[in-house]
């Protein structure tokens, strides 16, 4: 009897220490979400939602947006700056007083590029203007999902802090259906400023720990998430003919 008890006790102790040892690996993912709204002064009538899930140094980004210039590449990034205001810019940031906000003018609000939301390949800030790898917004809509984006632990923490922002770029001031005009981009003088000026922006706000169980922040969390799911559902239906649904489901399983 005594031996059995001792073995059982040892097993429990072993199980407990094992649980402690593996505990952090099973820590719940944290996530942040944003409502994307038109950037002040830039003539976009659109909206969107984004959710970023952080698992260690990997992030998964799901984003849906409408009202963008159709069939043109839209650079999209996660922005963050230690010294930034962690906001979307206002016309108070229009330092050259042209009544539009270019990407640089938005910098004091949302900071620098920390992740490039390309569809394929590199996702570092170096791909910030990799126009051939960004969504082209057919019908003015973007439905984006990409998992396993590797970031540094510092960037993962910055995103999880609730102070990063999603910015989708590309506007059409003169409504000619393309990126044009004499004003050169502040980021790349070979491009018109329309190609890189920010269109939609939203701060990635942290969800309360434990998400649904929490009392105070629950209604806003549910609203944000509910809206994301609703927009995602529409996008899913729109993509149904292209096999994108199957791919999406396969990714969701993985």
Which spans of this chain sit near Cu ion (rule: CB under 5 A)? 77, 167
Q: For the chain, give the secondary structure using H, E and C.
A: CHHHHHHHHHHHHHHHHHHHHHHHHHCCCEEEEEEEEECCCCCCCCEEEEEEEEECCEEEEEEEEECCCCCCCCCEEEEECCCCCCCCCCHHHCCCCCCCCCHHHHHHHHCEEEEECCCCCCCCHHHCCCHHHCCCCHHHCEEEEEEEEECCHHHHHHHHCCCEEEEEECCCCCCCCCCCCCCECCCCCCCEHHHCCEEEEEEEEECCCCHHHCCCCHHHHHHHHHHHHHHHHHHHHHCHHHCHHHHHHHHHHC
Question: Least distance to Cu ion from the beta carbon of 55, Å?
Answer: 23
Query: Other CB atoms closer than 10 Å to residue 225's CB: what's the count?
Result: 17
Separation CA 254–CA 250 (nearest Å): 6
CB of 140 to Cu ion, least distance (A): 19
CB of 45: closest distance to Cu ion in angstroms? 20
| Nearest distance from C-beta of residue 179 to Cu ion, angstroms | 15
Which residue number has the CB closest to Cu ion? 77
Q: Which is nearer to Cu ion, 79 or 221 (CB)?
A: 79
236 contacts 248 by C-beta, under 8 angstroms: yes
Least distance in Å: CB of 185 to Cu ion? 12
| Between 52 and 167, CB nearer to Cu ion | 167
Query: Would you say 82 or 176 has its CB closer to Cu ion?
Result: 82
Q: In the bound complex, what is the minimum distance in angstroms from residue 46's beta carbon to Cu ion?
A: 15
Question: Which CB atom, from 77 or from 141, has the smaller least distance to Cu ion?
Answer: 77
Nearer to Cu ion, 77 or 100 (CB): 77
Residue number with CB closer to Cu ion (187 or 221): 187
């Amino acid at each position: 009897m005594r031996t059995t008890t001792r073995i059982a006790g040892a097993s429990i102790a072993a199980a407990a220490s094992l649980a402690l040892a593996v505990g952090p690996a099973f820590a719940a993912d944290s996530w942040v979400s944003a409502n994307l709204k038109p950037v002040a002064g830039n003539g976009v009538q659109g909206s969107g939602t984004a959710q970023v899930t952080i698992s260690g140094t990997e992030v998964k980004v799901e984003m849906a947006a409408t009202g963008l210039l159709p069939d043109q590449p839209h650079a999209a990034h996660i922005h963050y700056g230690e010294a930034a205001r962690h906001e979307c810019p206002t016309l108070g940031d229009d330092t050259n007083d042209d009544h539009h906000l270019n990407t640089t003018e938005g910098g004091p609000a949302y900071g620098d590029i920390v992740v490039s939301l390309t569809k394929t390949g590199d996702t570092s800030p170096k791909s910030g203007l990799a126009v051939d790898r960004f969504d082209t917004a057919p019908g003015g809509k973007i439905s984006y999902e990409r998992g396993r984006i590797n970031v540094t632990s510092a960037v993962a923490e910055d995103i999880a802090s609730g102070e990063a922002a999603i910015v989708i770029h590309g506007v059409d001031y003169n409504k000619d259906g393309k990126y044009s005009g004499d004003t050169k981009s502040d980021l790349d003088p070979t491009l018109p400023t329309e190609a890189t000026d920010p269109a939609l922006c939203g701060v990635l706000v942290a969800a309360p720990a434990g998400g649904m169980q929490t009392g105070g922040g629950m209604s806003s969390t549910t609203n944000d998430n509910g809206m994301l799911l609703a927009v995602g559902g529409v996008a899913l239906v729109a993509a149904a003919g292209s096999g994108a649904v199957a791919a999406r489901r396969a990714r969701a399983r993985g």
